[in-house]
Structure 1
Amino acid sequence: MRCVLCNMPLFLPLHGICSQCLKNLPKLNKVCPQCALPHSLPTAICYRCRDNTPYWDELIAVTEYIDPLKKLIHRLKFYHQIELNQALARLMLLAWYQRRLNSGLAKPDIVTCVPLHHIRYWYRGFNQAQLLAKPIAKWLSCYFDPALLSRHQFAHDQKDLSLKQRQNNVQTLFTCRPSVSNKSILLIDDIVTTGNTINAISQQLKNSGAAKIQVLCLCRTIL
């Protein structure tokens, strides 16, 4: 087994990415713990989250949406290299643990993922967020519920829409099936861009009684 980035042999094959490449991954500098966007204020929470508080409570990202992770996400999603899921999930777990060490982040009760509409699932053959969430739930010894959320409309792809269109596109997309009263939820996605999708999901989860919502993603687009 070789490193998926530099192709050098791995001492621990299941890691997928060698320690040197891990060390050289682009880092997010000072970011808001709620939206994971950069800010330079002395306060922890940025002005964006204070003025327009999202429904989720914390957002953890490995890095911004740039290479080399951008290429790996494309290989996973569009070239069906689903064997990359373990290496990418491990990066996400390390980012989660780093936040836990820095701020005492609590372990969630339930791990779930952003759902795909069944038509897109049928076309692609898998949900990349579910592939990332399953090993994370196992490593955290948490209950994994990939069917907690359902997507009941087929929306336009977010990447093809303007900011206003993205906001309107996700308003009525998601439903939370069972009650999650007083539960802490870890929501997994591969990329967070505007945050509209995860905010719509988080609103549904909060309406169903969720106490805390952590969002964990590979990449955060810096707007």
Structure 2
Amino acid sequence: MRCFLCNMPLTLSHHGICSQCVKNLPKFNKICHQCNLPHSLSTNECYRCRDKKPYWDEMIAATEYIDPLKKLIQYLKFHNKVELANALARLMFLAWYQRRLSNGLVKPDIVTCVPLHHLRYWYRGFNQAALLAKPIARWLNRDFQPHLLSRKFAAHDQKNLSRKQRMNNVKTLFKCHHNLTNQSIMLIDDIVTTGNTINAISQQLKECGAVHVQIVCLCRTIL
């Protein structure tokens, strides 16, 4: 087994990406702990989140949406390279664990993922967010509930919409029918761009009783 990035032999084949490539991944500078975007304040929270607080509580991303992980995500999603999922999930878990060590991040009660509409699931054959979430839940020894949320109808592709259109596109898209009273939720997605999708989902989770929602993604687009 060789590293997915540098093609060198792996000592631990199940890692998928060697320790040297992990060390060389692009790093964030100072970021807001809530939205994972760069900021220059002395606090952990940026002015954007102070001005308009999102429904989720914390966000952790492994890196920006740039190469080399951008290419691996595209291979996973559009070229059915599902063997990448475990290695990419490990990067997300390492990013979460580093935040836990430095800031005392709470361990969630439930791990879930951003759902796909059933037509897109049928076309692709899998939900990439679920593939990433399942091993993370196992490593955390937590319950994985991939169907905690439902997607009510197929939306327009977010990447082709303006910011305002994206916000309107997700307002009534997701629904949670479970009682989450006093539960802490980890929501997994592969890429976070504007945050509108995860904010709509986080609102649903909070309305169902969740007391804490943390977002863990592989890549965060720097707007």
The verdict on a shared fold, with TM-score over 0.5 as the criterion, is: yes
What's the offset of the Cα at 1:43?
1.7
What's the offset of the Cα at 1:88?
0.1
Partner of 1:188: 188
Matched residue SS, 2:218: strand
What's the offset of the Cα at 1:128?
0.1
Partner of 1:174: 174
Partner of 1:121: 121
Partner of 1:151: 151
CA distance in structure 1 between the partners assigned to 2:97 and 2:65 by the alignment: 20
CA distance in structure 2 between the partners assigned to 1:95 and 1:177 by the alignment: 30
What's the offset of the Cα at 1:174?
0.3
The 5 A counterparts of 1:69-108 are 69-108=69-108
Unaligned runs of 5+ in 1: none
The 5 A counterparts of 1:5-84 are 5-84=5-84
CA distance in structure 2 between the partners assigned to 1:180 and 1:130 by the alignment: 20
What's the offset of the Cα at 1:153?
1.0
Which residue type is aligned with residue 138 of structure 2? Answer: K
Q: TM-score, length-normalised on structure 2?
A: 0.99
Partner of 2:213: 213
What's the offset of the Cα at 1:55?
0.1
CA distance in structure 1 between the partners assigned to 2:202 and 2:131 by the alignment: 20
| Aligned CA-pair RMSD | 0.4
Q: TM-score, length-normalised on structure 1?
A: 0.99
Structure 1 stretches of at least 4 aligned residues deviating more than 4 Å after TM superposition: none
Aligned length: 223
Percent identity for Structure 1 against Structure 2: 74
CA distance in structure 2 between the partners assigned to 1:76 and 1:46 by the alignment: 32
Matched residue SS, 1:11: coil
CA distance in structure 2 between the partners assigned to 1:99 and 1:43 by the alignment: 15
What's the offset of the Cα at 1:215?
0.2
Q: Deviations over 1:137-187 (max 9, x none)?
A: 000000000000000111001001000000000000000121111100000
CA distance in structure 2 between the partners assigned to 1:27 and 1:15 by the alignment: 20
